[in-house]
Amino acid sequence: MFLVGLSGGIASGKSTVVAVFRELGCAVIDADVIARQVVQPRFLAYQQIVHNFGSEILLESGEINREALGNIIFSHPEKRQLLNAITHPKIQKEMLKQIFKYFALGYRYVILDIPLLFETNTLTKFMKHTVLVYSDPQTQLSRLMKRNGLAQAEAEARIASQLPLDEKCKLADHVIDNSGDWESTRRQVLRLHSQLEDSLDFLLVRLVAVTAVAGIGGLVCFLLRHFLS
């Protein structure tokens, strides 16, 4: 099994691509979903965030108001770094647990859906392949304004806060152009999936791992028969 890092930009259409991969039966680990889970009230990260950002970021239900927190870190880079320092270790730990689960289930590869994969640049070294979901600037801007109900200037500021998609293209092993219609995007995903499925990457590692597990299992059975006979 090998890891495939998937990223994009705000309103580039990454969720559309992920939906096609899931439809194909691929294992997908969504860093955003995990990020929401680790800041629930019952977790340590929640207490640390409230301590550092104050109770004004809480909803009436007691949960963290993601929009309010997002506004703070958008305007204050040092606050974004603090939030990342709190949440990233917890997120990565949960991702690792899920990776082992899919390895045990025998998946050929696992997709890690990480929005800021290329910005943080700390996880790319663990990826055998990296994939960028691209959208041309005008389409990206239009989608963001429509989706979030933003004025053009505000949408442009949100896009400018991320590494430009053209720069990310240079860093990615594969690029899926989501500027066109859904069918075009789907065909690109199907083609990439076929390439990844046919890849021999890490086949030797899997064979060694399976052999080792089988050997350990055989040894355990032998010892049990020896001591119970």
DSSP assignments along the chain, one per residue: -EEEEEE--TTS-HHHHHHHHHHTT-EEEEHHHHHHHHTSTTSHHHHHHHHHH-GGGB-TTSSB-HHHHHHHHHH-HHHHHHHHHHHHHHHHHHHHHHHHHHHHTT-SEEEEE-TTHHHH-SSGGG-SEEEEEE--HHHHHHHHHHHHT--HHHHHHHHHTS--HHHHHHH-SEEEE-SS-HHHHHHHHHHHHHHHHH--TTHHHHHHHHHHHHHHHHHHHHHHHHHH-
pLDDT over threshold 90, residue 206: no
Q: State pLDDT tens for residues 23-67.
A: 999 999 999 999 999 999 999 999 999 999 999 999 999 999 998
pLDDT at 199: 78
Q: State pLDDT tens for residues 160-173.
A: 989 999 999 999 99
Q: What angle do CA 36, 103, 194 make, to 5 degrees?
A: 95
Kindly report the number of other CB atoms within 10 A of residue 52's CB atom. Answer: 13
Q: State pLDDT tens for residues 58-117.
A: 999 999 999 899 889 988 889 999 999 999 999 999 999 999 999 999 999 999 999 989
pLDDT over threshold 50, residue 222: no
> The whole model's pTM is what?
0.81
Encoding tokens for residue 112?
Answer: 């890690």
Residues 229, 220: Cα–Cα separation, whole Å: 14
Residues 122, 119: Cα–Cα separation, whole Å: 9
